Chains A and B, each alone.
Chain A
């Protein structure tokens, strides 16, 4: 298990290095001279040169990369070119917004996806099974922004149960925070719920037909105990989907944050791209990849624990 864990860890670090390096050079190639966008059209060439010197873009690209990389390894992503505040500090302000929504969406997906998946898997061919399968097709096909808009129109505009836009920090009001992230999380979760439900349903049906389940039932175990056994055997597929969903939802948050005007990582990415604020973009990229690596690492470890064969493979 230790060797398995180390291998996963090393591959994650390599991924982080490769993506960080590629993003650095691609971003600098895509955004030529950032000083025009940062200072506005009225800035003089002298002011542009002064800013270029201040942010270090007057140095060779390789020097800039080594400088950035050396600091990034220690967790220092430099300062924003726009407001000169530390990148890590700004990301730490925005990350909780995105993570609040994504984590809430994952919880909703796990709970409701698990519930519907188990119900459909235990009752194949019944109305609930058909409902899950039908909903899977429909909800997965619906574009995220459309679902978001429908939710806003129903629950914010017509019923006025939730705010249409904005974010409330949990330190200001826990209820306000829950209200501000509910609709975005539901919008993100709808597709994930049906994905998880369908995966779990299929795995349940496959496991339910195996000999050991018949043996369990013949020993007189209650239905709840049998379901728990089924769940452990059927869980890996759904866990993989949930992990993939987490990564997908991080990128999906860009659209949802725009529709609900949430000040998260997605909105920050959008704004930094428009302003040519490369340090922010690089910081976001590294942090996002870090999350992907961590989630995949945890998933591999859990799958290895659930299924020893995975460790060997």
Chain B
């Protein structure tokens, strides 16, 4: 009897607690059907910084797009679309972009958004440690009149508007820029303001701005974003109704099928071997095209995708995103898995018994390490692994002739050309373009081509670098998002998590 009373007491306490809805959490109400406009997002990572100049594009999209408006946004294909800039015109020499600004936006501290505010924000972003990547070719910004600005370029840059749209053109209140307080307290003109009930690192609550100029595009109300690094925790939060948009995996996709939820996915990055010395200046074997081709033939990308990537992605040997401009399906069979061919190419290149190579390794990439060990073992290539912290991997990996990588891709094909092929990046500090005049010439053609002719030139460049085995791409991995039946997510290649503009309610 006493035991029964004790159990009853425990159950009653639990029920009493569960009946209370104070504070946070939205147990049971998050992913119900139509009519519910609550938007509770389960994101993988916490916000890097509320200061757009220091923020990362990766997973910061939902956070920053809640409190800031961009000048330019992107659609699902990564094409720039108007936001605070109503429209724009690119000059005939491609060196001036003139933007016509909205006049009905204001910052949450009451300051008006105008050309002065836009120029101040852009100048601040140009100096930012992270945001500067979008403005490397910008000479300066100029106010033309109260609602018109000019962006003057040192040279043509076909990626400017794309990078601005990805999350590099968020407009900040001028006084907040001067005060240097944005990292702690965001002040933008966005569709929401950050609520004081937010708990940093756990849950961020937002209050809808009722008179926002684009309020109709942001139906989520109330809005909360939960940074939850653990996939199982996110899946459980989705099942319990606490969140209704989830950065998902295969298990979450299976849940979605059972629950009737929506699934959206798109390729986000390529997995494979990144060569850093195609010219063979420091590591002679990689200078041989046959060796690089052998390393393409030797990996069974489709099988690696199936076994390690849970089949979530596209088996392709290119760095241009599958199904998007630049990617050529006809090239995918160029290096169809053929170990015998790989061995024969190695022999022809003068390495019948393989060679020895040292490569970096860190915990994040260990999942692919056995594939390399096995394949290299079959080719007679002896690999010595230098283990390091992930933090050090970015700095040290490019000092090795090749390394296992997961590299984010871009929707914009010109951005793919510059980032993956022609300009120095952390993963490719020396593109060695001078050693490959034919590649350099084709890159020049791409960058000089008219917009109509550019796609064809990009395809020629892709064919060229694929034939030269510039990379060893095994597959492209998907980013997957599961959402309640009344919510639609449109993934964007280039963002790990899309902004609120890409999350809409049905009906």
Hey, which bits of chain A sit against chain B, CB under 8 A? 30-34, 36-37, 39-44, 47, 51, 83-85, 93-94, 97, 149, 152-153, 155-157, 159-169, 172-180, 182, 258-263, 267-268, 270-271, 274-276
Q: Is the CB of B197 within 8 A of A157?
A: no
Distance (whole angstroms) from the CB of A101 to the closest CB of chain B: 13
Distance (whole angstroms) from the CB of B368 to the closest CB of chain A: 20
Q: Is the CB of A161 within 8 A of B18?
A: yes
23 contacts between A and B (CB under 8 A): A31-B392, A37-B391, A42-B129, A42-B426, A47-B129, A85-B184, A93-B200, A97-B202, A156-B242, A157-B239, A157-B240, A165-B228, A175-B17, A175-B23, A176-B22, A176-B23, A180-B23, A258-B230, A259-B230, A261-B227, A261-B229, A263-B199, A274-B391
**Count of A-B contacts judged by CB separation below 8 Å:** 171
* Stretch in contact with the other chain, from B24-32, B117-125, B211-219: B24-32
Hey, which bits of chain B sit against chain A, CB under 8 A? 14-15, 17-18, 20-25, 27-28, 42, 46, 49, 56, 129-130, 132-133, 183-184, 197, 199-203, 226-230, 232-234, 236-237, 239-243, 389-392, 394-395, 425-427
Instruction: Check A169/B199 contact, CB under 8 A, given A37-B394, A83-B183.
Output: yes
CB < 8 Å: which of A36, A162, A172 contacts B394? A36
Instruction: Check A271/B25 contact, CB under 8 A, given A41-B425, A263-B202.
Output: no
CB < 8 Å: which of A33, A37, A169, A271 contacts B201? A271
Q: Is the CB of B227 within 8 A of A179?
A: no
**B240 to chain A: which residues have CB within 8 Å?**
152, 156-157, 160, 163-164
**A157 to chain B: which residues have CB within 8 Å?**
236, 239-240
| Minimum CB distance partner of A39 in chain B | B129
Of B22, B133, B233, the most chain A CB neighbours within 10 A belong to: B233
Q: Which 10 residue pairs spanning A and B have beta carbons closest together?
A: A173-B22, A176-B23, A173-B23, A41-B426, A263-B201, A175-B20, A168-B23, A263-B202, A161-B18, A163-B25
How long is the Cα–Cα vector from A33 to B240 in the complex, in angstroms? Answer: 42
Distance (whole angstroms) from the CB of B163 to the closest CB of chain A: 10
**B27 to chain A: which residues have CB within 8 Å?**
156, 160, 162-164
How long is the Cα–Cα vector from A176 to B226 in the complex, in angstroms? Answer: 16
How long is the Cα–Cα vector from A311 to B86 in the complex, in angstroms? Answer: 79
How long is the Cα–Cα vector from A47 to B14 in the complex, in angstroms? Answer: 53
Distance (whole angstroms) from the CB of A188 to the closest CB of chain B: 16
| Minimum CB distance partner of A48 in chain B | B129
**A83 to chain B: which residues have CB within 8 Å?**
49, 183-184
Q: Is the CB of B17 within 8 A of A166?
A: no
Distance (whole angstroms) from the CB of B288 to the closest CB of chain A: 29
Q: Is the CB of B20 within 8 A of A179?
A: yes
**B391 to chain A: which residues have CB within 8 Å?**
31-32, 34, 36-37, 274-276
Distance (whole angstroms) from the CB of A262 to the closest CB of chain B: 7
Q: Is the CB of A167 within 8 A of B199?
A: yes
Distance (whole angstroms) from the CB of A123 to the closest CB of chain B: 14
How long is the Cα–Cα vector from A161 to B24 in the complex, in angstroms? Answer: 14
| Minimum CB distance partner of A169 in chain B | B199
**B239 to chain A: which residues have CB within 8 Å?**
157, 164
How long is the Cα–Cα vector from A258 to B199 in the complex, in angstroms? Answer: 16
Instruction: Check A42/B133 contact, CB under 8 A, given A176-B22, A271-B46, A274-B390.
Output: yes
Q: Is the CB of B202 within 8 A of A167?
A: yes
**B46 to chain A: which residues have CB within 8 Å?**
271
Instruction: Check A166/B226 contact, CB under 8 A, given A161-B15, A176-B22, A261-B233.
Output: yes
**B20 to chain A: which residues have CB within 8 Å?**
173, 175-176, 179
**A178 to chain B: which residues have CB within 8 Å?**
17
Q: Is the CB of B14 within 8 A of A161?
A: yes
Distance (whole angstroms) from the CB of B349 to the closest CB of chain A: 32
CB < 8 Å: which of B15, B18, B56, B242 contacts A164? B242
| Minimum CB distance partner of A160 in chain B | B28
Instruction: Check A30/B14 contact, CB under 8 A, given A43-B129, A173-B23.
Output: no
Q: Is the CB of B389 within 8 A of A180?
A: no
How long is the Cα–Cα vector from A263 to B132 in the complex, in angstroms? Answer: 31
| Minimum CB distance partner of A178 in chain B | B17
Q: Is the CB of B236 within 8 A of A153?
A: yes
Extra contacts besides A33-B392, A178-B17, A180-B23 (14): CB < 8 Å = A39-B129, A85-B184, A97-B202, A153-B236, A160-B28, A162-B18, A163-B27, A164-B240, A165-B42, A172-B22, A172-B197, A173-B22, A175-B17, A276-B391
CB < 8 Å: which of B132, B230, B241 contacts A261? B230
| Minimum CB distance partner of B130 in chain A | A40
Q: Is the CB of B242 within 8 A of A163?
A: yes
| Minimum CB distance partner of A153 in chain B | B236
Q: Is the CB of A182 within 8 A of B202?
A: no
Distance (whole angstroms) from the CB of B169 to the closest CB of chain A: 16
Distance (whole angstroms) from the CB of A286 to the closest CB of chain B: 20
Q: Is the CB of A180 within 8 A of B25?
A: yes
Distance (whole angstroms) from the CB of A92 to the closest CB of chain B: 12
CB < 8 Å: which of B133, B200, B389 contacts A31? B389
| Minimum CB distance partner of A152 in chain B | B236
Distance (whole angstroms) from the CB of A227 to the closest CB of chain B: 17
How long is the Cα–Cα vector from A153 to B390 in the complex, in angstroms? Answer: 33
**A263 to chain B: which residues have CB within 8 Å?**
199-202
CB < 8 Å: which of A51, A152, A153, A162 contacts B17? A162
Instruction: Check A261/B226 contact, CB under 8 A, given A164-B233, A169-B23.
Output: yes
Q: Is the CB of B425 within 8 A of A165?
A: no
How long is the Cα–Cα vector from A39 to B438 in the complex, in angstroms? Answer: 35
Instruction: Check A168/B237 contact, CB under 8 A, given A36-B391, A42-B133, A149-B232.
Output: no
**B17 to chain A: which residues have CB within 8 Å?**
161-162, 175, 178-179, 182
Q: Is the CB of A164 within 8 A of B229?
A: no
Of A40, A157, A173, the most chain B CB neighbours within 10 A belong to: A40
**A94 to chain B: which residues have CB within 8 Å?**
201
How long is the Cα–Cα vector from A299 to B439 in the complex, in angstroms? Answer: 72
**B390 to chain A: which residues have CB within 8 Å?**
274
Distance (whole angstroms) from the CB of B49 to the closest CB of chain A: 7
**B426 to chain A: which residues have CB within 8 Å?**
36, 41-42
